[in-house]
């Protein structure tokens, strides 16, 4: 009965999060597939130009993950002032990091592009896109933290509504600017960038309006060094993990980016479908971590342990289902692609590999970013990603590509072994129960 109660609560909170994540992922999917009809060069260029944004999104993910868990535990304890302090502190960090990324994208776009490719056409086209889309980095700072505050307060439907509106605006403007609708001239990659900026501006406005009406969070709170230390002790490893993992992924993209436009385009499209397939697992992890955070904040360690086991079993099941659905969708996905024969051949092999990878990703993400973070066991994920991503995938991938000169598909296999390697490691850690901690006991409240 207790499992059923947790599953009911998990469905209530995780389903809107899954739909919201699907909306966010669909924005990138819409960009990619619409650019597929513009040209393979444009598709490849924007895929590489989005790597800085990808790294920034991982910072957001790490920071908001820690923010959501800490806020959930203090809200579970009934200490709203402490939750407000965490929100304000997280917002300050987000604004600073977003400003750095925005300046690099706006002022040095072609220099940034040279990190990921040496093809002049991709550097030029991607630089045009990056200079414009860099503005959206600043616009996203407040909304990213506010949306996680909505989730921590279990107002996930409001968060879903805001994300849905953002998606619809982005997709509609993409169609207008890419295909030249409503009498507007075709704008190609510049239009995609403008659509992203406008949609993020609307997202920011909606978040500000909601805050002014509901007073969900307050920025007028007293400083608390104890909570700040707890927050940094928990969140810094998550943010560092995001940069370690994201930096490795960006490096792997740079490796693939030097293996030709065909490999880049095929990889981009296969990854888009995989991102959609993993949305459910990521949403379960995020929703489960919030529920576990509330349970741990109440001091119910036995209940948290039981619920974590249920969450992991559900995530594995969902991962298997999503893998099967992804394999079934290969034919329909292929039918809408506009790729060269060589790129299409790459796509089929990459697609099947990433389909199986979805199962392992469900396990590792649920444990590392759901169960472990709910109890503050955040350093382990940092160590695992540093060892596997950099010590194995990047190191061996670089040797395979530039020393051994292996073909693109062989390199692709090597750089995508990370989830397979991490799975047994994180499951062993899970059984040791080092994540079972009440984070609100160390320093008290504001």
Identify the top-confidence range among 62-76, 104-118, 274-288: 104-118
Lowest mean pLDDT among 138-147, 328-337, 370-379, 434-443: 434-443
In a domain, 446, yes or no: no
In a domain, 445, yes or no: no
* Gap between the Cα atoms of 235 and 76, Å rounded: 19
Instruction: Please identify which residue in the block is written with the tokens 């955040």.
Output: 378
Residue 220 predicted with pLDDT over 80: no
Question: Quick check: 26 and 217 in contact, CB under 8 A?
Answer: no
Instruction: Considering only residues 307 and 222, tell me which one the structure prediction assigns the higher pLDDT.
Output: 307
In a domain, 233, yes or no: yes
Residue 443 predicted with pLDDT over 60: no
In a domain, 392, yes or no: yes
Residue 442 predicted with pLDDT over 60: no
In a domain, 393, yes or no: yes
Residue 39 predicted with pLDDT over 60: yes
pLDDT, average across residues 3-26: 75
Cα-based distances in Å from 177 to 49, 80, 212, 368, 422: 19, 44, 33, 40, 42
Sign of the CA dihedral running 215, 85, 207, 17: negative
Give the confidence band of 440 by pLDDT, cuts at 50, 70, 90.
Answer: low
42 backbone φψ class: left, alpha, beta (φ>0; ψ -120 to 50): alpha
Residue 275 predicted with pLDDT over 50: yes
Axis crossing angle, helix 408-415 with helix 225-257, rounded to the nearest 10: 160
- The string of pLDDT tens digits covering residues 184-195 is 777 778 888 888
Residue 437 predicted with pLDDT over 80: no
What is the extent of the structural domain holding 163?
Answer: 2-440
Q: How many helices (H) and strands (E) does the chain have?
A: 19, 0
In a domain, 332, yes or no: yes
- The string of pLDDT tens digits covering residues 330-339 is 888 787 777 7
In 3-state terms, what secondary structure has residue 42?
helix
Residue 129: alpha-carbon gap to chain centroid: 21
In a domain, 220, yes or no: yes
Q: How many CA atoms lie within 13 A of 369 on its CB side?
A: 26
pLDDT of residue 428: 92
> Whole-number mean pLDDT of the chain?
81
pTM over 0.85: no
pLDDT of residue 444: 42
pLDDT of residue 184: 79
Lowest mean pLDDT among 57-61, 211-215, 306-310: 57-61
Lowest mean pLDDT among 17-21, 127-131, 319-323: 17-21
pLDDT, average across residues 371-384: 83
pLDDT, average across residues 408-428: 91
pLDDT of residue 363: 92
400 backbone φψ class: left, alpha, beta (φ>0; ψ -120 to 50): alpha
Instruction: Considering only residues 344 and 70, tell me which one the structure prediction assigns the higher pLDDT.
Output: 344
Instruction: Considering only residues 263 and 320, tell me which one the structure prediction assigns the higher pLDDT.
Output: 320
* Gap between the Cα atoms of 410 and 434, Å rounded: 38
Our count of domains for the chain comes to 1
Lowest mean pLDDT among 324-328, 329-333, 406-410, 425-429: 329-333
Residue 250 predicted with pLDDT over 80: no
pLDDT of residue 32: 64
């Amino acid at each position: 009965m207790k499992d059923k109660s947790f599953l009911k609560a998990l469905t209530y909170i995780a389903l809107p999060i899954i739909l919201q994540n699907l909306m966010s992922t669909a924005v990138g999917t819409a960009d990619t597939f619409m650019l597929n009809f513009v040209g393979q060069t444009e598709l490849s260029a924007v895929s590489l130009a989005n790597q800085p944004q990808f790294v920034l999104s991982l910072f957001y993910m790490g920071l908001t993950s820690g923010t959501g868990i800490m806020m959930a535990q203090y809200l579970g304890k009934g200490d709203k002032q402490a939750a407000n302090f965490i929100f304000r502190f997280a917002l300050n960090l987000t604004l600073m990091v977003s400003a750095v990324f925005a300046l690099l994208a706006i002022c040095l776009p072609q220099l940034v592009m040279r990190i990921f490719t040496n093809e002049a056409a991709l550097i030029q086209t991607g630089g045009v896109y990056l200079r414009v889309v860099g503005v959206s980095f600043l616009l996203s700072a407040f909304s990213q933290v506010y949306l996680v505050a909505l989730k921590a307060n279990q107002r996930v439907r409001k968060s879903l509504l805001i994300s849905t509106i953002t998606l619809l605006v982005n997709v509609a403007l993409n169609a207008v600017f890419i295909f030249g609708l409503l009498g507007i001239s075709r704008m190609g990659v510049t239009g995609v960038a403008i659509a992203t900026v406008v949609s993020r501006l609307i997202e920011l406005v909606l978040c500000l309006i909601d805050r002014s009406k509901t007073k969900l969070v307050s920025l007028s709170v007293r400083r608390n060094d104890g909570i700040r230390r707890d927050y940094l002790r928990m969140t810094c490893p998550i943010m560092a993990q995001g940069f370690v993992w994201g930096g490795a992924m960006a490096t792997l993209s740079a490796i693939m980016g030097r293996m030709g436009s065909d490999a880049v385009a095929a990889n981009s499209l296969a990854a888009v479908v995989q991102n959609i397939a993993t949305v459910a697992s990521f949403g379960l992890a995020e929703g489960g971590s919030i529920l576990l955070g509330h349970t741990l904040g109440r001091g119910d360690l036995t209940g948290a342990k039981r619920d974590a086991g249920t969450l992991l079993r559900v995530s594995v099941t969902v991962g298997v289902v999503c893998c099967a659905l992804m394999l079934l969708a290969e034919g329909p996905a292929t039918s809408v692609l506009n790729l060269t024969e060589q790129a299409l051949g790459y796509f089929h092999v990459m697609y099947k590999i990433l389909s199986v990878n979805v199962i392992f990703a469900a396990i590792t993400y649920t444990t590392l970013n759901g169960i472990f973070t709910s109890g503050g066991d955040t350093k382990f994920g940092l160590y695992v990603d540093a060892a596997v991503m950099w010590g194995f995938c990047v190191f061996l991938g670089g040797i395979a590509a530039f020393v051994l000169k292996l073909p693109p598909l062989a390199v692709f296999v090597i750089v995508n072994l990370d989830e397979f390697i991490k799975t047994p490691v994180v499951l062993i850690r899970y059984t040791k129960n080092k994540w079972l901690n009440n984070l609100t006991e160390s320093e008290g409240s504001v």
